Chains A and B, each alone.
Chain A
Amino acid sequence: MGPDAARRSFHCASPLTKLALVLAVAAMLPLWPAPVLLAGLAAALAGGFLLGIGRILLARVGALMVPTGIALAIVQGMLVPRGAPARLGALAYYPEGMAHAALVFLRLSLILAAGLVFVMTTRPGDLARALDAAGLPPTVSYLLTAPLSMIEAIAEEIRQVRDSLHLRGLRGRGIRGRLRHLGAMTTPLVRNLITDAPMRAELLDMRGFRALPRRSLLDPPVESRAEVRLRRGLVGLALVQFGMLLL
């Protein structure tokens, strides 16, 4: 399979298969030593480049992990006593602590990279559709997709309330002023949303949201047998790793 075919296959893969991959990676974290985790991280980043999201992936992992790595090195490597201390010029540090900091850093970087690959190649709507097709109740997909469709409308309403407060001269200077501004901004917004909720619920019920038997999807996701086998394999791998932890 060439790079283009691999990229297409991964982008078109079911979100559940990608989730199974993240689960298998998550199960690796407490089990394997630093070199294995480093190899996993390298593979995740290389996979990101193969999928055409490498630069953004690297930037996001870096933005989150560089400050965390520095804090880990200071806290775990220099401040928490762990084993015999050593000196590097004027700096005293604990080599054992530094090794622990490196292990935690690699664990976090690996799950972050794997999670970001999933996030950057999966639309929440596709995940909801896959969950529906897998037979989960419509409640699950509603709770996954409805908030995402509401966020923009709520953010827009917040902007409008804020602008109207500014027009009336309420700028919110000083801590007390800002708190008053916050109250004036959020109170009408949240009360409106609460008042609207029963009506939204009635609309859901009228559309047969909980009707039985459950309706099938108009365009159910298509999966090959190989993909289903791969997903089962990944879940099995995760379970084996969790089992090894218990031994």
Chain B
Amino acid sequence: MSPSVLSSRALVLCAIGIALNMALGQAVSFLNLPIFLDSLGTVVAAVLCGPVIGGLTGLLTNLIWGLIQGPTAAFFAPVALVVGVAAGLLARAGMFRSWWRAAVAGVVIAVALSVVAVPIRIFLFGGVTGSGADFAVAYLLKVGESLFGSVLVTVIGSNIIDKVATAVLAWAILRGLPARSLSDWPYLGHSRA
């Protein structure tokens, strides 16, 4: 990794993103919305600094979460890495320039993360995680869907609203940053209309 990619500024943003993921993940529960918002820091870091920092922020969030709460979160660290990398690449493609593009980016992120999350859920957890989403897996299996199909539909279904909300919120936050922020975060230029 070149020093410019992992500059002190990017490092601090990474740490802020990790802390934000953890704090917001707990704080939004009181709003009773069907979202986790535990990857807002990852998406913000990815849009400001690119896929490497975005991926690192996601990966470390789950690893540190695993250090504090137990290893279950750490198993899903590759999923969080994909969220950050996908968000960074989508930002480079200009998908955070307007709210509707950000919403599409959220859908793409949800689909991309399922590529990693589904095998982890099936091979490590036998298709279940002990959460409410297991009811959906059981229902889909009962109506004749395969285990892979059931888990895939459940993972995408449970993540799509969250990732669209996260991406649109990240767009709303970043569009309000002053123009001089571009000098601090040159990668943000990809997301300015």
Footprint of B on A, CB under 8 Å? 22, 60, 64-72, 74-76, 79-80, 100-101, 104, 107-108, 111-112, 114-116, 119, 122, 124, 127, 139, 142-144, 146-148, 150-151, 154-155, 158-159, 162, 172, 175, 178-179, 181-183, 185-187, 190-191, 193-195, 197-198, 200-202, 204-205, 209-210
Contacts and interface: CB of A to CB of B under 8 A. Distances in A.
30 contacts: A70-B130, A71-B130, A71-B138, A79-B141, A112-B71, A115-B66, A116-B70, A119-B66, A139-B11, A143-B15, A147-B60, A147-B61, A147-B64, A148-B68, A151-B22, A155-B26, A155-B27, A158-B23, A162-B30, A179-B33, A186-B37, A187-B173, A190-B173, A191-B173, A191-B176, A191-B177, A193-B16, A193-B20, A194-B185, A197-B16
B89 interface: no
Contacts of B7: 201
Interface residues of B, number: 63
A129 to B, nearest CB: 14
A123 B57 CA distance: 21
Given A101-B126, A104-B125, A204 B8 contact: yes
A167 to B, nearest CB: 16
Contacts of A70: 130
B174 to A, nearest CB: 8
A32 to B, nearest CB: 16
A210 B28 CA distance: 36
Contact of B69 (A119, A122, A178, A195): A119
Nearest to B71: A115
Contact of B15 (A127, A150, A190): A150
Contact of A178 (B12, B33, B130, B184): B33
